Amino acid sequence: MLLQQPGLIGGLRLKNRVVMAPMGTNYSTTDGLSTERDKQYYEERARGGVGMIMTEAMVVTEQARPHNNSLCCYHDRFIPGLASIVEAIKRHDCAVFGQLNHRGALLRRSVLNMEPVGPSPWANPNTGDTVRPLSIAEIAEIQTLFVAAARRLWLAGYDGVEIHAANGYLFQQFFSPRINRRDDAYGGSIENRMRFLLETIGRMRDALPDLRLGIRLSASEFADGGYGEDEIIALARAVEHAGADAIDLSGGSNESPQLSKFCIQPPSFPRGCLADTARPIKQAVGIPVFVAGRMVQPEDAEQVLASGAADFVSIGRALYADPHWTAKAFGRIDAPIRACIACNVCFERLTLEKDVACVQNPMMGTEFERLEYAEPQLFAPPAGPRARVLVLGAGVAGIEAARVLKGRGHVVEVWESGDRPGGQMPLATASPDKQEVEPVWSYRWGTVQRMGIPVRLGVAADEGAIRDFAPDYIVVATGSRPAAPPLDVGALASTVRVRHAWEVLADLDALPKGTRVTIVGGGMVGAETADALRVRGARVTVLEIQAGIANGMARNNKFELVERLAADGVTLLTRCRILKAEGETLEIQVQDEAPRRIAAGDMLVFATGPRPNLAVLPAVEATGIPHARIGDCNVPGDFLAALRDAWMVALSVDERIHRRQADESSRKELQA
C-alpha cells in the first residue's frame, strides 16, 4: 500500500504518506492562545496514525486575525502553548509543521475590525469591504513578520513551517493577474507577481537555514482571468529554486462560494478531484508534492498516489470525521471509517465564527472523541452493573444510541414500528449527489449488525410490551412526521394533487416527465426536492418566504445547488407569500409587488418542516421508567443534532448507573 510507505521532506522521515491538512477549529481563546481543547484535538489525530500534522493557519500579525478564536503566532507569548501542542503530537511518532498565513484582502471588518489589504484596490467579494493596497514598506514589514513567526514555531519545536500562498489569500492575491493591478516591482509580469512570495522564502531561508519549509499553492484558481497552468508551474519551479522543501497543492479561492468550492468541495465533486490539475505541477518539480481534494476513503488516496499526482496526500475533512482514519486504513483498528459526507457543516460553522463541528463525529473537540468512546465495542466495558435499555426507533439517532450503549456494556434492544430500519435515510439520499450522505447510516447500521444488537421491526410499543421488557431506561428516537400544510388547500381543484416533500422523495419514479410541480418552502428539503424533480424532467417552481433558497445548507453546497436549479430552468421565487390557494391557482405576493396569480401546477408539494413524532410517548410515560427523547422526536433538526443527542444520552446512562449505585449505598448505610 503506497499510503503506508515512509517518505522524506527536507531530510525529515515521515512514517507514512498521510498528512493532516491545516484546518481551522476556533478552539483557541479570543486572544489567540492555544487551549487544552486544541491539544486534545491534535493529539487524537496523531494517535490515529497520520505521518504528519499541519496545524491550522496561524496569523503573523495581530492586524490579520481571520477568526475571533483562531490560533496566533505573532508574539512570543504564544510559544509555550504551541510547544504543548507539539509535545502532544510528537508522543505518537508524528511530525508536525505549522502553517503561517495572512488573508490580506479576505480579512473581514466584522472579525475584530480587521482591515482588508492587498496588492491593489479591490473589494472583498464576501463582504464588500474596501481593500487598501499595501505600500512597499508594508510588504517588507509583512515579510519580516513571517520570518519572526517562523522562528517562534521553530522555538516551539515544530519540524517545519508552511507558508500559505493558496486559496485566495495574500500571496495568491499578489500572484493572480485578476487581482494584482500594481505597476511597481510587485505587479505586472509574472516575475514581479512572484516576487512577494519568493522574497519571503529567501528571507526565511537566510534567517532559519535549517528550517524545513513547505509552500501551499492553489493548483488553479478555476477563475476567468486567473493564472494558467504555465504560470503555476513557473511559480512551483521558482519556489523550489528559492529553497522550499515541499509544495502543498490545493485549489480555488475562498473569496466566494463559486471559487471556494474548489477548495472545500461539495459532494458533487469527484473523489481525488485535484489530482489531474496537480499532476503537471508534480512532474515539473523535484521536491515532494502534497495534494488535497476529496479523498474520503483510503482507496481514493491510494489512487491519487498511484496516478503520479503527488508524493503525499493532504487529508482534511476526512480527519474531522474520523481522527483514526489512518489506523483504520492500515488495518490497525478493526472498525469501519466514519466517512466524510461533504456536507461542509464544518466549514460553515467556521465562517459563522462558531467552533468547528462534524456531522459524522459530533464529539469532535471533546474528551469523548477518544477511541474508547468512538468505538466502544473494541474495549472491555466499564466495571460495575450495566443497564437494560430499550431504544424506540431504528433511525440514525436510535441506531447510534444503541451502538454506543452496547459498546459500553449495556443490554440493548431496538424496536421499530415500521417494516424497515433507517428512518428518513432514503429521503436524505434521494436527491442528486446525496448518496454521499449514505455513510451516516451504513457506518452505524453495519456496526450494530456486527455487534449483534437485536432490532425488532413492526413492533407496537404499547405500555404492556414495554413493561414486559422491563428496561431500566428508555431512549425515544421515533423521529418526526410531516406537518400539515400551513395554508388552507380545501378550495384547490381536484386536478391539483397535494403532497408533502417526503412523499414525493419516497416515490420519485412515479412522477411522469413534464409534470408541473410547485414546491412551497425553499429550505434545504424543498431545494433538494426541486433538484430531484429537475433531473426527472419536471417543471418546477419553488416558493420561499425568506430571502434565500436552501438556508441552513453550507454555503459552498448551497450556492452550487441554487446555480444548478436556476441553470436548468427551475423558477425560484423568494420573499414570496401565498395569500390564497383556489381552483388551479395560487395567489402570491413577492416582496412589495402587487399580488398576482400563478398556476398551482399538477402537484402542490409542501416542504415546510416536520413535527416531532410523539405517538409512543404516552405509553412510555405511563410506565414511569426514566427516558430521554433524542433526534427529531425531541426537536426536528439535522444529522449533527440527532447524533450528538444520541451519543450524549447513551454516555449519560453510565453516569445514571453510578448515581444509582451511590444512592443504594447511601440507603444501606442509613439502614445500618
Q: Which residues are catalytic?
A: 169
106 CB-near residues (< 8 Å, 6+ apart): 66, 116, 124, 126, 168, 169, 254, 255
User: In the structure grid, which three cell numbers stand for residue 495, read together?
Assistant: 386536478
φ and ψ of 373, to 5 deg:
-95, -35
Contact 45, 23 (CB under 8 A): no
Q: Hey, how many other C-beta atoms are within 10 angstroms of the C-beta on 469?
A: 16
User: How far, in whole angstroms, is CA 126 from its chain's centroid?
Assistant: 20
User: Which residue, among 355, 332, 331, 359, has the nearest Cα to 345 in the 3D structure?
Assistant: 359
Residue whose cell numbers read 414525493: 504
Alpha-carbon distance 4 to 406, whole Å?
A: 33
The DSSP call for residue 232 is: H
* Helices and strands: H and E segment counts in the chain: 22, 28
Quote the CA–CA distance of 292 and 273 in Å, as a whole number: 8
**Residue spans of beta strands (DSSP E) within 251-337:** 289-291, 312-315
Round to whole Å and give the CA distance between 459 and 398: 15
Report DSSP state, residue 209. Answer: T
**Rounded Cα gap, residues 264 and 161, in angstroms:** 22
The single-letter code of the amino acid at 47 is R
Q: What is the rounded distance in angstroms from the CA atom of residue 516 to the CA atom of residue 538? A: 6
What is the C-alpha end-to-end distance of the chain, expressed in Å? 65
